[in-house]
Structure formats: C-alpha cells, structure tokens
Amino acid sequence: MYMLVKHLDKYRYTPFVATPGEGELADEIRKLGVNVFALSFPRIRPLNIFKIIIALTRLVKNIRTYNIDLIHTDAPREALFAGIAGKLLRVPVICHLRVSDSNIWLDKILYRFVDCFIAVSHAVTHRFSDIDNKNKIHVIYNGVELDKFIVLAVERPASCLKVGYFGRIDKRKGIDVLINAIKLLKKNVELFIMGDGDDEHREELERMAEGTRTVFESYKQNILADMSSVDVIVLPSYYGEGLSRVIIESFALGKVIIVSDLPENLEALGEQFQEFVFPVGVSYKLMEILKNISANKSILDERKDDLRSRAEKYFDIRRNTRQIENVYDRLVTSNSFPL
C-alpha cells in the first residue's frame, strides 16, 4: 500500500491515507507529502455497536471533508466499513485482497458492498470463486522498486551453504520444516532466521535449532543487505500466503528462493522454477533441494539472470501501479462492473 501511494501519478490523483494510529507507516507516508489521518475500525460484534456507529460516522465525515472520489481499502474489516459508507455517499470502493485466507460469511457480505477487488494473485481469487458472478475481481501482482535491488556477484565458500528465512515468526510459516531440513542435511549449513511475531513459537524454534548453526534476529526495516548475504532463501509456509513479498524481492535480487507448493507460491515461481518447490510440510524433500544446491552451487549463478528477468516481467511496482490506476479510472467513470 505504501508503494502504491508513493508511485501514484500525483498530477492525476491526490491520496489521503487513514491509519489506525501513529507509527512507522504513518511517518513514512507523511514523508511523501501525503495527508494522513487516524481512523480505527472496531470488530464487527454486537457489543461494539456504539463504536461501530462512531467509526462509520467519522469515516463518512472524512469522505465529505476531503471530497473523496474513490476509496481503496487494504483489509476486509476496513472494506466493510468503507463499503457501507460508499453506498451511502455513492462513492466506489475497492478492496485489495492480499491473502488467500477466507472468512466465508464476511467475504459474501463484502462482495455485496465492494465495487471491485484487486487480488495479488490468481490463487487469492479462489476466495470468491463460488460467488463472483459480476466479474468484480482483477489480478494485479505486488511489485518492488527494481532499481533499488542489485544483483550482486557473491563469493561463496565451497564448504558452507548459507540459508535464510525472512518473515513473520508464526506456526503457519513452517519454519520448523526448514529447521528439520537443515538437521537432515547433515552438511555445513548456516541458517539465518529474521523476523518478529509469536514469541512463544520463537522459543520453540530456538530449542529445535540447538546443535545447528542458526542465528535468530529481529525484524528491521531494510533487509536487502541481509537477503543478499545468504545463498538461498526459503519460504516453507503451511498455508495463508497471498503472493509473498519475500518471493518478489528474492527474484529482484536474482536470489534462488525455495518454496512450499502452495498454489500462490507455484504461481509466483511459474513453470520455470519448479525445481525449487517442495511439498508442504515435507522436510525431507526440502532437504533434497538444499543438498543439490550445496553440491552444485553453480546453480545459484546460472539462474540469477532468469530470476531477475521474472521480477522485471511481473513485479515492477511502477508498471503495476499503472494497472491499478486503470482500474481507478474505469471505476470512477463507470456506474457498474465488469470493467
């Protein structure tokens, strides 16, 4: 969402951003010269009825105050509030679908109130496959600023394979599968795990990793140097991806990334890189891929240009923002869908 706001054509669009409160996101958006205001939305439950009314009233007031022509939301709960306000004020609403997780009853309600959905992958669209009878869903991939990602020539010690995980520390992310694969590999491997999240699960993983050369580090804003320092990156998720940014960023760096065979991961890698896919939860298969790379490190250099090319073809934030602007234009000038 930050990248979208940054790369919108400011001669044609004036963005206003509502955040739940102050923090890193609000600070970074203000640096772009964009107006930010605080607006939080309570959970949809009977006990919160007065909070819901207050939040909806504030949203309607802001839409009128800033003469908003279009609302673009980034999460289902916000989309529901925006959808109601949009119907009241006849303002079109877009909901960005970033994960494949589905709440069936909420998705059905959202479909009625939201005018258009932008999904980050075709896999994510399956959330609405049974109810999308108006062709409201459009697939536009996430992107990165490719000029900030440099494909580096890396000197690799023949005796050691450096493996990295970058993401949330959460059971659904399958980090335990990665650690088990490293144990099975029985080679000289350094494992680097960076991220924040579930502290209890982190402690479990640290105990599991005892006896291996594993380093845990907390999240930080800029991780490109850390990603560049490893030989290969692994995304071993059990479920719940949409189209992971770590895959896109790995491609942009020309870095081999190994993924579990979730539909969204398969879509991101395409047919060209299926050698780097393993069955969800199967540590032994992940170990075999790592073993092959460890024995044939030339793979890492041989594939880097192809990996970068895929990023340039599908994951350029500037081109993908233009696609979103096309949706904006056609939605604002049209009274109905499909586009």
83 and 204 in a common domain: no
CB 92 within 8 A of CB 86: yes
Measure Cα distances from 306 to 13, 249, 262, 302 in Å: 35, 14, 22, 8
Structural domain includes residue 296: yes
Read off the pTM.
0.90
How many Å apart are CA 328 and CA 131, to the nearest integer? 23
Structural domain includes residue 127: yes
Q: Is the peptide bond before 338 cis (omega within 30 degrees of 0)?
A: yes
Per-residue pLDDT, 335: 54
CATH code for the domain in which residue 26 is found: 3.40.50.2000
Task: Give the residue numbers spanning the domain of 8.
Answer: 2-142+316-333
* DSSP structure string for 183-225: HHH-SSEEEEEE--B-HHHHHHHHHHTTTSEEEEE---S--HH
- For the chain, the domain total comes to 2
129 and 8 in a common domain: yes
175 and 292 in a common domain: yes
70 and 18 in a common domain: yes
Structural domain includes residue 136: yes
Structural domain includes residue 79: yes
Structural domain includes residue 339: no
193 and 83 in a common domain: no
171 and 239 in a common domain: yes
138 and 43 in a common domain: yes
136 and 282 in a common domain: no
Structural domain includes residue 154: yes
Question: Position of tokens 């009233």?
Answer: 57
161 and 91 in a common domain: no
Structural domain includes residue 157: yes
Question: Position of tokens 């959330």?
Answer: 127
180 and 281 in a common domain: yes
101 and 27 in a common domain: yes
261 and 181 in a common domain: yes
How many Å apart are CA 275 and CA 25, to the nearest integer? 37
Structural domain includes residue 338: no
- The one-digit pLDDT tens for each residue of the chain (339 residues) are 899 999 999 999 999 999 988 888 899 999 999 999 889 899 888 889 999 999 999 999 999 999 999 999 988 899 999 999 999 999 999 999 988 877 778 888 899 999 999 999 999 998 888 887 788 999 999 999 999 998 876 666 667 899 999 999 999 999 999 999 999 997 789 999 999 999 999 999 999 999 999 999 998 888 999 999 999 999 999 998 889 999 999 999 999 999 999 999 999 999 999 999 999 999 999 999 999 999 999 999 999 999 999 999 999 999 999 999 999 999 988 755 444
CB 242 within 8 A of CB 120: yes
- Please state the separation of Cα 72 from the chain's center in Å: 17
